Amino acid sequence: MASTLIELCDLISTSVRTIDSRCNALSGTFPDLNKHKSTPEDEKLTRDDEIMKATSILVSAATQLIATVQLPARSLLDTSLAFLSSAAIAVVAESSIAEIIREAGPQGCHVDEIAKKNGMSALNIARVLRPLATQHIFREVSPDVFAHNRISTLLDTGKDYETIRAAPEDKHEGAVGYSSLIQLNTDETFKAAAYIKDVVIDKDHSEDELNTPLNKAFGTHIDLFSWYELPENKVRFKRFGVAMDASRRMSPQGAVLQGFQWSSLPKNALIVDVGGGIGSISLEIARSNPDLRFLIQEKPAVVQEGIKYWEKELPDALPTGRVSFAEHDFFTPQPVKNADVFMVRFICHNWSDTYLLKILKHLRDSAQSTTKLIVMEHPIHFVCGEDETYKHIPGAVPTEIPPKPLLPNMGAVDLTSYLIDMQMMSLLHGCERTFPHYWKLLQKAGWEIEAAHPLPGSLIVQLVAKPI
């Protein structure tokens, strides 16, 4: 019998050959990590279904191989210090180092030149860039000279540094890349996460919705969304909206269209996007389904941002009535009684079971017998494999089993889901949930899940439910 090391190496080599063969079949070359910037052709190639499947096996096997051969103490130490990499990225994102390096050109930029522009210490610039370059984020092309690679370029807003310096509050407006999402993760999430331990082991106050790590970190006793609306958080509030749109862009183009069949809805069917932010997901559906109507419900401040977003992206939608916005608090009764679909995307994970039940029950109370509820979330998997109790529900239990000796949840490939769960623990009293957890909650609220649609190339799953 082959050893685990040999089995993992075989999976890696087989996956690499699969990727190389598929690239040849598509007349492409897998992009070099050291490329200054990815191209649309690179994106299309790396998003190919066969290549993504092989990549997932490769990443899972390679990570498990490292864990197997590395000294256990080293693995533990590296994990305990991982937050310092987040701190380094926070410095880079906040000080617009990525933009300065891009403006210097592919040959890179000396830390002294970066310092002249952003006013930082050249030594400190090198100290935050070097651990990132060691993890293949940026390149140190010669002593103290740093250049972009395919990963680091995603920190770049695409804007001129002088433009950002003149109006830092508008840094993320219309930006490319994922800088807004990275700064959300490395600012409020990062600071709040330092207090997770203090909150979760506090037996007396662990269930207090307003006793979150974020509350402790920032000395407040209001929920996250009310906190964002405070005057001193104006920049964070604006950045949060852009970050949510950036998170949508991390999924392949059109992924939301490959689960539930939106085209199966009757003409003029009404989709109510509950807590829909600026309506970026509704926009993607609307562009491919011109006969559907959308009502996006949000808080007043977000509604105004959403209107501006749609006026720019799909100008005829608002005047023609294809889309409308309404102010609504989803903890109060749902006023719409004729919805064909209630859509809730990344809402459930924000709240504890107690509060989520209130939201779901309000939707059930306003549903028609034919109304569908579509929940879009990052359901987390059991590391040991899924609960077979729910295999009768299409999509609830994966049909493909990872090859041995990989973990049943694909290991590192699935890690982001659990980290997002920890993020919810940091910012709110919400959580990511397993499928059985969602099943029981929805049943309690009067809904029955009839299908689950994992969206290709994404961590997102669409749970489709009907009224009981």
Q: What would the 3-class secondary structure string for 170-229 be?
A: HCCCCCCCCHHHHHHHHHHHHHHHCCHHHHHCCCCCCCCCCCCHHHHHHCCCCCHHHHHC
Measured between alpha carbons, how far is residue 239 from residues 25, 250, 397, 415 in Å? 41, 16, 36, 25
- DSSP label at residue 264: G
CATH topology of domain 251-410+424-467: Rossmann fold (3.40.50)
Question: Which pair of tokens denotes residue 439?
Answer: 């099943």
Q: Which amino acid is at 276?
A: G
Cβ neighbors of 174 (< 8 A, separation 6 or more) are: none
Task: Report d(CA 111, CA 101) in Å as an integer.
Answer: 9
Respond yes or no: is residue 349 known to be catalytic. yes
Q: What is the C-alpha separation between 236 and 181, in angstroms, rounded?
A: 11
Radius of gyration of the chain (CA): 23
Per annotation, catalytic residue among 349, 362, 381, 429: 349
Q: Prior bond to 405 cis, omega within 30? A: yes
Domain 80-166 coded CATH 1.10.10.10: yes
Backbone angles phi, psi at 395, to 5 degrees: 85, -10
- In tens digits, the chain (468 residues) has pLDDT values of 569 999 999 999 999 999 999 999 999 999 999 988 888 888 889 989 999 999 999 999 999 999 999 999 999 999 999 999 999 999 999 999 999 999 999 999 999 999 999 999 999 999 999 999 999 999 999 999 999 999 999 999 999 999 999 999 899 988 888 999 999 999 999 999 999 999 988 877 656 788 899 999 999 999 998 999 899 999 998 898 888 878 877 777 778 888 899 999 999 999 999 999 889 899 999 999 999 999 999 988 889 889 999 999 999 999 999 999 999 999 999 999 999 999 999 999 999 999 999 999 999 999 999 999 999 998 999 999 888 899 899 989 888 889 999 999 999 999 999 999 999 999 998 999 999 999 999 999 999 999 999 988 788 899 999 999
Which one-letter DSSP state was computed for residue 279?
-
Identify the H or E element spanning 302.
helix 300-313
Q: Taking the domains of the chain in order of start, what are their residue ranges?
A: 4-69, 80-166, 178-249, 251-410+424-467
Q: Alpha-carbon distance 38 to 45, whole Å?
A: 11
- Rounded CA-CA distance 23/19 in Å is 6
| DSSP track, 406-444 | S-TT-GGGGHHHHHHHHHHHHHSS-----HHHHHHHHHH
Q: What is d(CA 355, CA 335) in angstroms, rounded to the nearest whole number?
A: 18
